[in-house]
Amino acid sequence: MRTFFLTFVCVLVLHSTVYGGQWSNPTCAPGRHTIVHLFEWKRSDIADECETFLGPYGYCEVQISPPNENRIVTSPNRPWWVRYQPVSYKISTRSGDENSFRNMVERCNKVNVRIYVDAVVNHMTGSGGSGTGTGGSHWDGGSLSYPGVPFSSWDFNSFSECHSGDGNIHNYNDPNEVRNCRLVSLVDLRMSKDYVRDKVAGYLNHMIDIGVAGFRVDAAKHMWPGDLRAVFGRLHTLNTKYFPSGTQPFIFQEVIDMGHEAISASEYTSFARVTNFIYGIKLADVFRGNNPAKYLRNWGEAWGMPNTNDVVVFIDNHDNQRGHGGGGGVLTHFEHRAYKMATEFMLAHPYGFTRVMSSYDWPRNFQNGEDKNNWYGPPHNSDMSIKGRSLRSDKSCDNGWTCEHKWRQIYNMVAFRNVVMGTTINNWWDNGNKAIAFSRGNKGFIVINVDNSDVNANLQTGLSQGTYCDVISGEYVNGKCTGTEIHVGGDGHAHFHISHTSEDPVVAIHIGAKKGSARKVTT
């Protein structure tokens, strides 16, 4: 009896301290640890990018825009958000058809880059109108007819489940309304039904069988955790052509939890990860200089955020960079100096599974604080097909694609993260205000100056003696540093001078970019 009791207590204790669920493990190739969201990219461009850049520079995987057939909207002309209005689960969009999807998955997996699909399964199109989708299927939002799946009115929540009056969500403090009513009038699937669960799981399994390694689940907050579990429980393990047998897909759920609504992200973390939206908002404050960086000393759970193993973290996403989805206030590529600093910090810090945003440009047009052009779709040709990203000689992109993931300050920190993975924060230093530094074990060291005076200091780096290439101002190529060299002495100290007016007031060094040793971008 006593042993039984003790075991029971142990199980309880263990249960309350173990984080990460069945679908919370990233399915990266060894040594890789960062997602890049190639928002609205064409399949053929993604495949080329995997081979020529993401593989060689150490990215783990690409989050792709929803690949299934969606509604066509021509007024305004082809906004990005139509990709979030499914018409069927046929793989057929402006980014490409099923053949190009298969080709992309194969080519990316071959160079150790995984594909994560943005899965829009809470709803179909908006309720008004009817038409033909990007894959040729008919849809009717009024009569709830989606023959391409097929779904009919029986497969959608109705007034028997949704009690908001007009069928739409108004009150985010009523969990029932948030889950059973329509998000911005998008017709809401009745996921309590086995038929609906089977169709959704069938769509995801089709992609798993092709070689996809994980999913971002759109609008997860608008689905009951139990229904999601039931769908995930139907998923296949990953294709053994690329993955060890029995590997579960990686799943992260879009749950916007700023801490002041009835639904909490913790309802979802026992089985898969969630997106952490507080993260980018708090870091925007720090890297705009409004909250002294010294407070980052205990960055992570102590700031009221979920456990590190339960989250995907990012500085901005496709919604909040344009004021959608709880947006406003985050840093984006438009504010490049602070944006780079925040991203560098994110990639240097052990908290969370990191995602880098890769955007396209659009002509912002603010009126009364709102960007009237935030609907702009991706760069396109006159026939509305998506434009390819042409390349300049310095790796950066053209044709309207921003390609933050190819900014040296960002991709070199993706490699930094790979190289230091598994170490903790040591040798913390701050100037009592807005300049900070820390090492990751004895593998890497970073100094960030958000202050309005220079950093001029001898700091303990924790690294072994030698000359290291600063990977922010340059790179380690052919045994040489193209940027600043940092000399670490026998006692681990090095001198850092960082001007507060520099475009990049950051220095980062690691053992994968130490002169005389082999260059490393993964571990």
Which residues bind to ligand ARE, rule: CB under 6 A?
81-82, 84-85, 120, 126, 172, 183-186, 218-219, 221, 254, 256, 261, 319, 324-326
- Residue 69 found at the interface with Ca ion (CB under 5 A): no
Which listed residue (45, 48, 218, 470) is catalytic? 218
Q: How far is the CB of 104 from ligand ARE (least distance, A)?
A: 22
92 binds, among ligand ARE, Ca ion, none (CB under 5 to 8 A by kind): none
**What per-residue string of b and e applies to 15-47 under the rule 16 or more CB within 10 Å gives b?**
eeeebbbebbbbbbbeebbbbbbbbbbbbbbbb
Window 105-144: residues binding Ca ion (CB under 5 A): 122
119 or 213: CB nearest ligand ARE? 119
Which listed residue (48, 254, 310, 319) is catalytic? 254
- Residue 227 found at the interface with Ca ion (CB under 5 A): no
Indicate the DSSP class of residue 257: -
502 binds, among Ca ion, ligand ARE, none (CB under 5 to 8 A by kind): none
Q: How far is the CB of 223 from Ca ion (least distance, A)?
A: 5
- How far, CA to CA in Å, does 351 sit from each of 28, 79, 188, 253, 444? 17, 34, 34, 18, 16
158 or 390: CB nearest ligand ARE? 158
> Is the CB of residue 389 less than 8 Å from the CB of residue 46?
no
CB atoms within 10 A of CB 383: 5
The first and second tokens of residue 200, run together, are: 């959704």
256 or 425: CB nearest ligand ARE? 256
365 or 456: CB nearest ligand ARE? 365
Q: How far is the CB of 67 from ligand ARE (least distance, A)?
A: 14
- Residue 222 found at the interface with Ca ion (CB under 5 A): yes
Is 218 annotated as catalytic?
A: yes
161 or 335: CB nearest Ca ion? 161
**Span of 44-52, 218-226, 458-466, 488-496 interacting with Ca ion by CB under 5 A:** 218-226
Give the CB-nearest residue to ligand ARE.
126
Indicate the DSSP class of residue 269: T
100 or 125: CB nearest ligand ARE? 125
- How far, CA to CA in Å, does 197 sit from each of 151, 155, 188, 218? 12, 10, 13, 15
Q: Position 380: which residue type?
A: H
- CA 175 to the chain's CA centroid: 25
106 binds, among Ca ion, ligand ARE, none (CB under 5 to 8 A by kind): none
Q: How far is the CB of 92 from ligand ARE (least distance, A)?
A: 17
173 or 465: CB nearest ligand ARE? 173
Is 451 annotated as catalytic?
A: no
Q: How far is the CB of 112 from ligand ARE (least distance, A)?
A: 28
**What per-residue string of b and e applies to 227-264 under the rule 16 or more CB within 10 Å gives b?**
bbbbbbeebeebbeebbeeeebbbbbbbbbbeeeeebe
Q: How would you write 9-76 as a 3-class SS string?
A: HHHHHHHHHCCCCCCCCCCCCCCCCEEEEECCCCHHHHHHHHHHHHCCCCCCEEEECCCEEECCCCCC
61 binds, among ligand ARE, Ca ion, none (CB under 5 to 8 A by kind): none
**Residue 93 CB partners (closer than 8 Å, separation 6+):** 65, 66, 67, 68, 69, 70, 83, 134, 135
- Residue 188 found at the interface with Ca ion (CB under 5 A): yes
186 binds, among Ca ion, ligand ARE, none (CB under 5 to 8 A by kind): ligand ARE
124 or 481: CB nearest Ca ion? 124
37 binds, among ligand ARE, Ca ion, none (CB under 5 to 8 A by kind): none
Q: How far is the CB of 218 from ligand ARE (least distance, A)?
A: 5
Between CA 228 and CA 234, with CA 231 as vertex, the angle to 5 degrees is: 150
Q: How far is the CB of 368 from ligand ARE (least distance, A)?
A: 17
How far is it, in rounded angstroms, from Cα 48 to Cα 500? 38
325 binds, among Ca ion, ligand ARE, none (CB under 5 to 8 A by kind): ligand ARE
319 binds, among ligand ARE, Ca ion, none (CB under 5 to 8 A by kind): ligand ARE
DSSP-based three-state secondary structure for 347: helix
- How far, CA to CA in Å, does 405 sit from each of 65, 234, 339, 484, 509? 16, 34, 12, 22, 19
* Contact positions vs Ca ion (CB under 5 A): 122, 188, 222
By annotation, the residues acting in catalysis are 218, 254
